[in-house]
Amino acid sequence: MKTTRALVDRELAPFLDAVAPLDFTPENLPEIRRTADATPPLPAPTTGAVTREEVTIPGRDGAPPVRALVYRPAEVEAGARLPAVLHLHGGGFVIWRPEINDARNRHIAADIGCVVVSVDYRLAPETAFPGPLEDCYTGLLWLHSHADALQVDPARIAVQGESAGGGLAAALALLARDRGEVPLAFQLLVYPMLDDRTGSREADGPNEYAGQFVWTPASNRFGWRAMLGHEPGRGDVSPYCAPARAVDLAGLPPTFMQVGALDLFVDEDIDYARRLLRAGVPTELHVYPGAFHGFDILPGTRIGAAFLREAHEALRRALAR
């Protein structure tokens, strides 16, 4: 494989030695989780006052209850109706909790003037598909059914996620479309993890310039194996698990996607955006040259600031009255 270090954005390059790829094994997953849970929240600019409340949502059809964090602007006028974002965190389906995005979710709530509900879905491999997605759907139903109490406009609900959370957000949009219970206004997919076949088939002709940093083909196979309960790349994978497998993308909500050019997911994300456009879904895709997976969490870079700003601008436009 070609080395892509020379292609890395010059502001991101100094961080490469500190962001070694995650080397998952069944044996070291508990320790990786302990370290991940101790990681400070992703950085975000200081914004106005926001409240955070933890809620427990009853599970559906015998499933366990679902924990979620609810963020709201501290001051909301009586009678006002706010847009809302259902947020799904990243972590390859196997690590992290919604607290990892605490600062950013506060920033979204203050900057956009919206309610954010971040779902603590069950992790794989302890809970494989469809459990994590059903947890996300439970959170979406709760947000929609509690719109009055939350002062939310039920016609302005978006789903957002990063990495594995982006894949879950895309899957949730498919599920919501097909079940017809909650209309979605928008989906914001941040370097989403959409295709279990990526890195799993030699015949694919892998992109030699993608996936060398942070999230590698080996990490990807581990995450998908945990979520699926079997080896990835087989022919019997549900599109509600791997959205790239969906045949029909028509009727999905308007979409904004972001991915780095050196990210393992760049090809599957570009292809999904192309297919959304061909299905008549209004879609905007931003590919960031020199950027690897998760680059936006690194502090003090212009490219990271632009990434965050462009995501918020897209949310603001989509959720405006």
Domains and CATH numbers, the chain: 5-319 (3.40.50.1820)
pTM of the complete model: 0.96
- pLDDT tens-digit readout, 255-276: 999 999 999 999 999 999 999 9
| pLDDT at res. 45 | 67
For residue 158, CA distances in Å to 270, 300, 320 come to 21, 28, 12
Cα-trace Rg, the chain? 18
- Whether 146 sits among the annotated catalytic residues: the reply is no
Which regions in the chain score pLDDT beneath 70?
1-2, 42-47, 200-205
| pLDDT at res. 39 | 77
Catalytic residue among 153, 219, 293, 296: 293
Side-by-side strand order, sheet with 283-288: 50-57, 66-73, 115-120, 82-88, 152-162, 186-190, 255-260, 283-288
Catalytic residue among 120, 263, 267, 269: 263
Pair 224, 164: CB distance under 8 Å? no
Residues forming a β-bridge with 287? 259
Distance CA(173)–CA(187), nearest Å, equals 7
| pLDDT at res. 41 | 73
Catalytic residue among 118, 163, 200, 219: 163
Contacts of 111 (CB under 8 A, 6+ apart): 47, 312, 316
- Whether 163 sits among the annotated catalytic residues: the reply is yes
Type of residue found at 251: G
Pair 228, 237: CB distance under 8 Å? yes
| pLDDT at res. 285 | 98
